[in-house]
Structure 1
Amino acid sequence: MVTAFLAGLVAGYGVAVPVGAIAVLILGLSARTSFRVGAAGALGVATADGLYAAVAALGGAAVAGLIAPYAGPLRLVAAAVLLALAGHGAWRALRPPAATGPRPVRRGLGTPARAYWAILALTLLNPATVVYFAALVLGRGHPGGADLVAAGLFVLGAFAASASWQLLIAGGGTLVGRALTGPRGRLITALASSAIIAALAVAVLVG
């Protein structure tokens, strides 16, 4: 059971650590409104990550028996997907940045409820997250086999990892916020995420 939760934590940090437009939006919300609004947006991101983890984990449990004869090839495919995601993340971090200015904070997100639902919807528009979790779950096998409790702990771990990171961004203050969202911070967090995902891909191959 503890293994499933820890697997969810690692997977959650792997997808949450890169600092992108949503993180900048959360930081701006905290700076221009209040920590409550920024924290609500952070929990919106974590909810989306948790939902995608649940779809992948429970879907993996549902089809575990069907895919058992193909476990070997699927493990290779899953590792390839994870390595591709890691490589893509590293490439995006190392390529020259586009000349775009900071995105303004929308006035409509000035309350915790609006921030939560709006950022939840924005995060759900990223289907790459469910591809990431599905590749991880199907590649290593469903956490704890077909045990729904283990699946729930995996999802809880992913949610906790995402929430802790996004809340750090929301409450870190101007100094931490600038460090994370500046060019060097984006590079470091993106490369760290790529390293985590690549390590998970290797674990899929040797697991």
Structure 2
Amino acid sequence: MIGVVVAGLLAGFGVALPVGPVGTYLVALTARTSLRVGVFAALGVASADGVYAAVAAGAGSVLAPLLVPVVGPLRWASVVVLVGLAVMGAVKAVRRYRARRIDALQQETPVGARTAYFGMLGMTMLNPWTVIYFAALVLGGSGVTGLGERIVFVVAAFVASASWQLVLAGGGALLGRLLTGPLGRLVTALASSLLIVALAVRLLA
């Protein structure tokens, strides 16, 4: 059972550690809102990883081939969503900077915890590579066989993913505290938007 726990942790960290557009958006979202919102957003990402881990552990051999034909459309959907979020974030940042509403900038929380959770859950679920990644691990001999081991594997993968996403959220909260001025927030928002667009475009490569 210890081996299954280790396999689940490694699987969770393996899919979570590469900071792609979703991770970048998580940091930017926390920086401009609050740590509470960032925590819920991080749990949304980890929940998606946990769902995919459960699906892969339960029926990876059946679902992996079926996903191949829809990888392209899902990839385009991910790009559209991420670019849209980046553009909206940049436009909102420019408008706020022009208005110079400093007090509103420091107190406003434009995204609620529930919206952050389900938004990041949906964004992460758009990524088909996650389930293919977990399916490959299970089929490649991770030692996950019985129901009990599969549950342990999924829980371990969720814990690993959640721990890393919370680290990213914490970094975003720290960044938000350091850059409290209007110019600092504008530069940070524009930089994160450009990075998200660049990472989204790389999904098409």
| TM category, shorter | 0.5 to 0.7
Segments of 5+ residues of structure 1 without an aligned counterpart are: 64-99, 187-207
How do residues 78-97 of structure 1 correspond to structure 2 at under 5 angstroms? none
Is this contact kept in 1: 2:5–2:152, CA < 8 A?
A: yes
Is there any run of 5+ residues in structure 2 with no aligned partner, and where? 63-82, 93-107, 179-190, 196-205
- Cα gap change, 1:154 to 1:32, in 2 (>3 Å): same
SS at match of 1:19: coil
Paired residues of 1:109 and 1:115 also in contact (CA < 8 A): no
Q: Which residue of 2 aligns with 1:150?
A: 149
- TM-score computed with the length of structure 2 as normaliser: 0.61
Paired AA for residue 135 in structure 2: A
Contact 1:23 1:166 in 2 (8 A): yes
Which residue of structure 1 lines up, in the alignment, with residue 14 of structure 2? 14
Q: Structure 1 36/108 Cα, relative in aligned 2: closer, same or farther at 3 Å?
A: closer
Alignment map for 1:94-105 (pairs within 5 Å) = 103=86, 104=89
Question: Who is 1:40 aligned against?
Answer: 40
Offset from partner CA, 1:156-185 (integer Å, 9 cap, x none)? 11101110000000012229x9xxxx9xxx
Q: How many residues align?
A: 140
Residue 52 of structure 2 aligns with which residue?
Answer: 52
Q: Matched residues in 2 for 1:159 and 1:10: separation?
A: 11
- Shift of the alpha carbon at 1:142? 4.9
For the structure 1 residues 109 and 129, does the alpha-carbon distance in structure 2 shift closer, same or farther, using more than 3 Å as the test? farther
The worse-fitting range, judged by mean Cα deviation, of 148-157 and 25-34 is: 25-34
Flag as ranges the 4+ runs of structure 1 deviating above 3 A: 105-109
2:164 aligned partner? 165
Q: Is the 8 A contact 2:53 2:157 kept in 1?
A: yes
* RMSD between aligned residues: 3.1
Bigger shift: residues 107-116 or 161-170:
107-116
Which residue matches 2:140? 139
**What's the counterpart of residue 124 of structure 1?**
125
Asked if structure 2 preserves the Cα contact closer than 8 Å seen for 1:5 and 1:154, the reply is yes
Distance 1:14 1:36, change over 3 A: same
Give the whole-Å Cα distance in 2 for the aligned partners of 1:38 and 1:108.
Answer: 11
Q: Which amino acid aligns with 1:119?
A: M
Aligned to 1:94: none
State the shift of 1:108 in Å: 9.5
**Contact 2:34–2:109 (Cα < 8 Å) also in 1:** no
Per-residue Cα deviation, 1:172-199 (whole angstroms, up to 9, x for no partner)? 2229x9xxxx9xxx9xxxxxxxxxxxxx
Taking only the aligned residue pairs, the percentage that are identical comes to 49
State the distance in 1 between where 2:13 and 2:159 align.
Answer: 9
Task: Tell whether the 8 Å contact from 1:108 to 1:114 is kept in structure 2 after alignment.
Answer: no
Q: By how many angstroms is 1:39 displaced?
A: 0.8
Residues in 2 aligned to 1:108 and 1:124: alpha-carbon distance in whole angstroms: 25
